[in-house]
Structure 1
């Protein structure tokens, strides 16, 4: 019975294959029987259909109806390489930009002063920076709240006590927290750099209502934040010329570090893994090919005593 079932199944498969081949041959014969003009027309129609579909896909990826902002270009950041680390001098300057320019509106509630130690500042410098702020603490022995100088364990101060106060101070717009802004925006630091340096006058036919500013990189092109940086907006401690592009580059590097404090350590561990794998993989291949395979392929024969 099993043999008959196998034979019947094979026969059914061969029959299906035969029917499919007959159908394909009939289709080919029908296209071949068409006149030369009709075949040319069908070929042209197919080419135009395929070209139109490809063009539609390309245009859909380039410009979407719900995504009309200008996409930022890709900048050659020094830390984008596989084995490239962050520029820690730029991180220090970027923190200065955040402190003197950005912290008036934007918070970084997930970053503490202790995170700066050994990255951009020494411990003594960070302690001095933390002591410049006053933190509400308590209650004390009498049950009252009190203020004290900041410590290394304190987080960066918030510019507003709550989101409602932030909206009132910014004409209804809520300034986002910058702790992970580089990872939260498509394009990362390319987007932030383009946004900071992309303010311009609106083109002809485009009107921006009062209180908003035109920026082609922002979704909707109308942003509530005034241009935050310009040439010589501050004076760097190390004497670096504070041009607009330099300021934007430094604060973007600082924000990249804030979003990924483990950036350098992750790449260092990856390099160690590659170096270890370069030694371990040949050793494992040798053991598999020349040692273990011999044991696996050996034959054990039992010969009973006569």
Structure 2
């Protein structure tokens, strides 16, 4: 009787589990998609992709320098890079004098040594990129009650970050008629901007880029697509400045393991050469 009772209890658990699985599948098939799920688009890289993609990819310093230029002339008005020091820019191919010049173009918080009052001064290489706002209150007041995020790690904070940044910057558009017809309540609120690459489809940041906005010194075409690709590459570097070192170490480790495997196999054959089955 005990065995029969245990069997019936076990059978009951299995049956309940089966019903739960069927119910979950049924709900998944019948639950309607939300407006975000239906109209959100996945990020895509620019035409030709990025030079640093793949196991052997490397940063293009010229592109990173252009991305820095776009950041300085456009993005720095709202976004900080609080984890990046000016002296780090030497890795992009800038000389010591050029780094000092770039740093001096930013005003960083300081203290007046004579009065002890808050003040600002020209940046120096050891400083980090400053926030354009004194505090969060000022940031909210200037941006429709939204605080512009720091961009230091943005490429790592989002899935497929480089492509995400590129898609977001080039993805502003009018709301599709299909969306408004199917979800009339989802009309973009006043003060926000529709972008299908943003997770909620609407964001406070107005379209920041337009053709001809930044003049490149190397003759690269002054298009929105180029601006977006270049600043996306630059922000990937700020998030992963040691990417190339990591890749080179990974490749070296694989080569070492391959050689070690051959040596271990040879040693095994040598040690057990006289042993018969």
TM-score range, shorter chain: 0.7 to 0.9
Pick 1 or 2: higher relative contact order, CA cutoff 8 A, min separation 6.
Answer: 2
User: How many residues get paired?
Assistant: 246
Q: Is the 8 A contact 1:201 1:214 kept in 2?
A: yes
Find the counterpart in structure 1 of residue 14 from structure 2.
none
What is the deviation of 1:67? 4.0
Distance 1:55 1:262, change over 3 A: farther
User: C-alpha separation between the residues in 2 aligned to 1:141 and 1:220?
Assistant: 49
Residues 1:110 and 2:83 aligned together? yes
How big is the alpha-carbon RMSD for the aligned residues of Structure 1 and Structure 2? Answer: 3.1
User: Residues 176, 134 of structure 1: CA spacing in aligned structure 2 closer, same or farther, 3 A cutoff?
Assistant: closer
Deviates more, 1:121-130 or 1:271-280: 271-280
Q: Distance in 2 between matches of 1:143 and 1:174?
A: 29
**Structure 2: how far apart are the matches of 1:86 and 1:131?**
26
Residues 65, 209 of structure 1: alpha-carbon distance in 2 compared, 3 angstrom cutoff: closer
* Candidates 129, 137, 147, aligned match of 2:102: 129
Q: In structure 1, how many angstroms separate the alpha carbons of the residues matched to 2:196 and 2:259?
A: 51
Q: 2-side partners of 1:97 and 1:110: how far apart?
A: 18
Out of 214, 227, 235, the residue aligned to residue 255 of structure 1 is 235
Quick one: distance in 2 between partners of 1:189 and 1:64? 26
In structure 2, relative to structure 1, the CA distance for the partners of 1:77 and 1:64 (3 Å cut) is: farther
**Unaligned residue ranges in structure 1 (runs of 5+):** 1-15, 21-48, 299-306
Q: CA deviation at 1:139?
A: 6.4
Q: CA deviation at 1:217?
A: 1.4
Matched, 1:91 2:64: yes
- DSSP 3-state at the match of 1:118: helix
TM-score for the superposition, normalised by structure 1: 0.71
Q: Which has the larger radius of gyration?
A: 1
Query: Aligned to 1:154, what secondary structure does the other structure show?
Result: coil
Q: Deviations over 1:240-299 (max 9, x none)?
A: 1121111110010001111111111111111222232332221122123323x479x79x
